[in-house]
Structure 1
Amino acid sequence: MCGIVGGNIPLKKVLPMAQAIKHRGPDDHGDYQDEHISLAHVRLSIIDLSSRAHQPMSYDGLVLIYNGELFNYLQIKSELSALGYQFDSESDTEVVLKAYHAYGKKCLDRFNGDFSFCIYEKRAKKIFACRDRMGNKPFYYYHKNNLFVFASELKAFKSVFSLSFDQQSLGDAILFSINDHQKNTIYQNIYNLLPGHWLEYDLSLNSLKLNRYWDAEIPEDDVVFDQNKFNQKLDEFEFLLKDAVRLRLIGDVPVGCMLSGGLDSSIIASMIHENKSDVTYFHSSYPEFPEIDEYQYVAMLQQQWGLKLNRINPDFNSFKLDYSKLSSVQSDIFRSYSIYSQYAVYQKAYSLVKVMLSGQGADELFGGYQQHIAKFLADDPQNLVERKNVYNEDVINADIMYMNKYKLGNVEKKKTLIKENQKALELIHESLPNYKPDWDLLLDKFESNVSICLKNDTLKYSLPQLLRYEDRNAMNFGVENRTPFTDYRVIEFVLSLPKKYKFKNGLSKYFLRELGKRRLPKTVAERLDKKGFEAPDKQWLKKMGVNCSMGLVALRLDLFKQLKQSLAS
């Protein structure tokens, strides 16, 4: 992965932008300018470490700056070679450039990867830019009057523009923890190119065009459960996921894997273990908080598979020292302190590996969160009967509480949401007096159709946010994160599965659990609890002096203060 910046501004203004994100590319840097545009690139070398892969890269009137990895580049390179194209490097960058030359925008249909890139068409005087289908790699742009400027991170714009907050987007991010669903960011006139989209900017006409090039379909959900068909689908999925893992192990640098001990990352680890032996595994552990610690499960996998494991133990003292840096790294509102666990892992990993795989994305796809379970239960009364056979009374009571919310009509839901958030809103108005909550936005997130909800959380709400967190944490330390569950083939396949495959016998993520039974120790595969990469939010909030009665809203307001100070400095 790398960092890219550019626009119709002088190079002397673009270079400080590149300097602001130099952590994304510590291995090399380059720039380009003519009378219409300036471009700059900072490189993290993963494939073809030689200078032949230097960027910006040019070919027949095209200039490319590229952030990411094209995992199927060898296949596409072979196709292009058959068309007569010759290559001067072993890089995927050159494949991207010549694929665009051969196929134009349609090259995106052939790509399987994590990427954002910009191609300057010198003859047409146009900028073409895009993001991968899932938005694993970021692309932000400033557009006002006749100015068009872009960058991989929000912080890069600070060196060029005097930034102001967008109160609506900022307020929604603080109150609802929703800020990756739309093109608006928390800063005025700076926009987020959405996943699966491309843009074209005409430098002569100063006109901007946006287009969505990919979406995923969801099924007609009236399927009767059939065990034979289920097993066939499970075989197909296992093959797909194994291939997604195989592709993400490609590279010329050391590889790591984030291992929480939960189902998702353990399945990914099992597939890595089959493919590659020289991999380092990383686990974030909180032994002083056994209610969120999962080390016992990781230790079990380590012993059974002989894994090379690094156990990281973040504590409050290290968090307090890193908090200001963490907020600067993210340069945006984040949901909770839990992302510090991930930050601490990458902090340790950067001296050992340059690529890190993780299990990100499975909860959104398979319905692993509380709101998904509530919707499954509200959808079919039999699901609650089956769940009572598996879980204790405390879990069931919590399930019923959430389920009843989803049974309400939209008018009642809205009244409930306003009542629940009233005190938090009063606190937000102390800092953002003009903010008016978009309650309909939250209603959309409360969509009662399970399949639509899973698609929304995968493509619109939850997962894009988590991918943003991980990109910033990883790239701050010069590590490339890769997430096999976000391979577009996996996304399309899982979203097309009937909901009866995802919740059965009282269990969420049933389909993935059945795959886990094939590949993992029984104790790991059949876990009923869910923890993930958590941090002791409540305890740390209290120690940080944050108003705990307002919970995570108070945390996000504190983040806003940090960002405000950063703009003023």
Structure 2
Amino acid sequence: MCGIAGAVNMPAIIRAKEVLEHRGPDSFGIYQEQDVCLVHRRLAIVDLTDAGHQPMFFKELVITFNGEIYNFHTIREELVNKGYTFHSHSDTEVILKAFDCWGKLCLSKFNGMFAFCIFNTKTKSFFVARDKIGIKPLYYYHHENVFAFGSELKVFSSSILSHKNEKSLLQFLVLGYIPAPHSAYQNVYKLPPGSYLDYQQGKLKITKYWSGTDQSTHSPYQINNYQHALEVVETELQRAIDMQMVADVNVGCFLSGGVDSSLIAALAQKNAPVPVKTYAMGFKEQGFDESGYATAIAGHLKTVHQNLTFEPDDLLEQINDFDFYFDEPFGDFASLPLSILCKKAKEQGITVALSGDGGDELFLGYEHYAFATRFHKLFKNKPELLRHWFTRLLRLTNNEKALKMIYPINNPTLLNFYQVYATSIKPWDLAMVVGKDFLRKHFGKDDISVVDILNIPADFPLENEKDLSNIDLLWTLPDLMLTKSDRASMRFSLELRVPMLDANLIEISRAIPNHLLLKDGIKKSILKDILAKHVPKALFDRPKRGFNVPIALWFRNELKGELLTLNEGLPSFINKGYVNQLILEHLHQNRNHSYTLWNLMRIKKFYSIHEAKTVLVAVS
């Protein structure tokens, strides 16, 4: 795991060796040739010797690489049989020589998480690739004859980061994240998951090489009964975990006591030569601590377990540099406890941790899938007059949750009910926040939906829970969940691995019919039944909670001062009256607007950081 950057015609990219130090504190390397520069910051995981140093060279090729290729030993053997020799035990050298051997087709052989660039010193061409699901980040900039890329936005010069992308900020207000290929800045983009980029002599082309929702990727799997699904998923997940437990540094597992992390820990422990180290987080705030569940699971599995308990002040301290590490507005405040868990686990001596990310998206664990399908079936065929009468009653309740249901009941599509849970500011309310003229400026209309926000294709299937999970798989997972995991872990130089998101397992999950993913209507039934083979149901059979953060309480106490001054510094396109209404309702009417208020606070911080940078540039 590392930090990478590179550019042509942008000398300032060399600053990446300082600003990405947290991603790779062990060493750094720089390649420079005329107007081309490649930068690498190393967090040594495999082959800790200098033989794994980057940028690495072979023939006319130079590589800077971030990530892990878990099956590199198999690919290495194949290359040895073709006559290649190796001077290290690193996966970097395998990537480089695989590209020399097979060209772009080498991507089909890689099982792992990665973002890398290979520069051809003869043709002066760049080949930049990102892993299939988007576990590792990759941003790029292209304007006129300048091309640059990096693991984080902060690698780009202040002049590039001076032009904000207002449409992306609208997307953020709805989603709590900015979806690929966009970023918060003009001409700066995220390379989409499962894609590669070719750049040569001012011309840039992006090609999609894999999509988990593409029928062609999962058609080879024929899974028509539940028992077969159980067997295939467990076999593939065990294989993925066994591969991802391999490293030349200490490896552990994050254990919340929920289904996904418990299953990862159970299967890791099953084949481990020594007891696996597991780590759980706990809060001293009453009602937020679930570390007891993790302790019970760990005790049954006989792992070497530690509960790492945090004070509220520990979480609040993380807010101070939250925006620095994300570089653009980011809405998931669950990254705060995850950051502390990563920090404390690193202090305990591990450099790699396995987490359960991906289980809810692949095996239908989220409540909003069932919620949307249930209410869509209930209201889709009801007469308009009856729906209108029902929503009038909802208005009279003045109940927060009831009010959110008015628009989707009057417009009963599956996607509208999905948005009740899956969005912060509802798309149908966005005009109250920014005004209709502002929406028309950026979307060409003022009546927008999540289809417009995400640019969902017109032929995208939307019939059941699995179809909704494909939205999360393609957008929410890489741009929210995995971004959170990457920044929370890499700020403390910890590599976080996600076995559930093994590409083969994704393909298998997409091949399993919807009714088998929800046996007897039970969410995540496949994972629960596999886990029950290793852990008694009594230890994990309870409602899902996730990483709870008392942000609503903080806005009424520790963060109240910031909340009361929220309007000071917000951009002019935000309706200040609407913001004041949210603040008053949250403070005095027992309404919980914490997600929306947090997101608005992130936009304010984004603008204040930008203005500070502009002043510094002007002064210098």
TM-score using structure 1 length: 0.88
> 1:251-266 residue pairs with structure 2 within 5 A?
251-266=247-262
* Contact persistence 1:71–1:248 (CA under 8 A): yes
Partner of 2:596: 553
* Secondary structure at 2:156 match in 1: helix
Partner of 1:536: 550
Partner of 1:2: 2
Partner of 2:606: 563
* Contact persistence 2:127–2:198 (CA under 8 A): yes
| TM-aligned CA deviation for residue 365 of structure 1 | 1.0
Is residue 416 of structure 2 the alignment partner of residue 373 of structure 1? Answer: no
* Secondary structure at 1:129 match in 2: strand
Q: Distance in 2 between matches of 1:443 and 1:137?
A: 21
Q: Distance in 2 between matches of 1:116 and 1:412?
A: 32
| TM-aligned CA deviation for residue 99 of structure 1 | 0.3
Partner of 2:541: 526
* Contact persistence 1:172–1:179 (CA under 8 A): yes
Q: 1:435 to 1:519 in 2, by over 3 A?
A: same
Identity %: 30
1:398-423 CA-to-partner distances (Å, cap 9, x unmatched) read 89x97994894459949x98995676
Is residue 165 of structure 2 the alignment partner of residue 166 of structure 1? Answer: yes
Partner of 2:199: 201
Partner of 2:67: 68
Partner of 2:528: 513
* Contact persistence 1:254–1:279 (CA under 8 A): no
Q: 1:304 to 1:413 in 2, by over 3 A?
A: closer
| TM-aligned CA deviation for residue 508 of structure 1 | 1.2
* Contact persistence 2:125–2:199 (CA under 8 A): yes
1:456-483 CA-to-partner distances (Å, cap 9, x unmatched) read 2112224441101111111110111100
| TM-aligned CA deviation for residue 113 of structure 1 | 0.5
Is residue 351 of structure 2 the alignment partner of residue 354 of structure 1? Answer: yes
* Contact persistence 1:2–1:25 (CA under 8 A): yes
* Secondary structure at 2:299 match in 1: helix
Is residue 224 of structure 2 the alignment partner of residue 237 of structure 1? Answer: no
* Secondary structure at 1:183 match in 2: coil
Residue of 501, 520, 527 corresponding to 2:516? 501
| TM-aligned CA deviation for residue 369 of structure 1 | 1.5
Report the count of equivalent residues. Answer: 541
The one-letter code sitting in structure 1 at the alignment partner of 2:601 is D
| TM-aligned CA deviation for residue 160 of structure 1 | 6.0
Q: 1:484 to 1:323 in 2, by over 3 A?
A: same
| TM-aligned CA deviation for residue 10 of structure 1 | 5.3
The one-letter code sitting in structure 1 at the alignment partner of 2:210 is W
* Contact persistence 1:15–1:40 (CA under 8 A): yes
TM-score using structure 2 length: 0.81
1:117-159 CA-to-partner distances (Å, cap 9, x unmatched) read 0000111110000000011111101111111011100112145
The one-letter code sitting in structure 2 at the alignment partner of 1:92 is D
Q: Distance in 2 between matches of 1:131 and 1:412?
A: 29
Q: Distance in 2 between matches of 1:315 and 1:406?
A: 42
Residue of 287, 294, 297 corresponding to 1:298? 294
Partner of 2:575: none
Partner of 2:79: 80
The one-letter code sitting in structure 2 at the alignment partner of 1:235 is E
1:339-396 CA-to-partner distances (Å, cap 9, x unmatched) read 2110110111222211010000111111111221124435778xxxxxxxxxxxxxxx
The one-letter code sitting in structure 1 at the alignment partner of 2:153 is L
* Contact persistence 1:375–1:403 (CA under 8 A): no
> 1:453-464 residue pairs with structure 2 within 5 A?
453-464=468-479
Is residue 502 of structure 2 the alignment partner of residue 487 of structure 1? Answer: yes
Partner of 1:384: none
Q: Distance in 2 between matches of 1:318 and 1:557?
A: 23
Residue of 473, 478, 484 corresponding to 2:493? 478
Unpaired runs of at least 5, structure 1: 221-225, 382-397
1:219-272 CA-to-partner distances (Å, cap 9, x unmatched) read 79xxxxx99931122111101000110111111001121111100110001011
Q: Distance in 2 between matches of 1:207 and 1:333?
A: 30
The one-letter code sitting in structure 2 at the alignment partner of 1:293 is D
| TM-aligned CA deviation for residue 497 of structure 1 | 0.6
Q: Distance in 2 between matches of 1:127 and 1:464?
A: 24
* Secondary structure at 2:67 match in 1: strand
* Secondary structure at 1:269 match in 2: helix
* Contact persistence 1:378–1:407 (CA under 8 A): no
Q: Distance in 2 between matches of 1:219 and 1:124?
A: 36
* Contact persistence 2:14–2:37 (CA under 8 A): no
Q: 1:370 to 1:254 in 2, by over 3 A?
A: same
Q: Distance in 1 between matches of 2:128 and 2:513?
A: 35
What root-mean-square deviation, in Å, do the aligned CA atoms of Structure 1 and Structure 2 show? 3.1
| TM-aligned CA deviation for residue 15 of structure 1 | 1.8
Deviates more, 1:93-102 or 1:549-558: 549-558
* Secondary structure at 2:197 match in 1: strand
Q: Distance in 2 between matches of 1:77 and 1:41?
A: 23
Deviates more, 1:443-452 or 1:471-480: 443-452
* Secondary structure at 1:505 match in 2: helix
| TM-aligned CA deviation for residue 336 of structure 1 | 3.3
Q: 1:460 to 1:174 in 2, by over 3 A?
A: same
| TM-aligned CA deviation for residue 278 of structure 1 | 4.8
| TM-aligned CA deviation for residue 294 of structure 1 | 1.9
> 1:197-346 residue pairs with structure 2 within 5 A?
197-202=195-200, 205-217=201-213, 229-276=225-272, 277-290=274-287, 292-346=288-342
Q: 1:534 to 1:457 in 2, by over 3 A?
A: same
1:168-220 CA-to-partner distances (Å, cap 9, x unmatched) read 1012112332422x311111111000000000000xx3100100000124679
| TM-aligned CA deviation for residue 454 of structure 1 | 1.4
The one-letter code sitting in structure 1 at the alignment partner of 2:171 is D
* Secondary structure at 1:350 match in 2: helix
1:288-332 CA-to-partner distances (Å, cap 9, x unmatched) read 332x43222111112222322232233332222221212211222
* Contact persistence 1:410–1:443 (CA under 8 A): no
1:438-471 CA-to-partner distances (Å, cap 9, x unmatched) read 5233597894443322122112224441101111
* Contact persistence 2:60–2:121 (CA under 8 A): yes
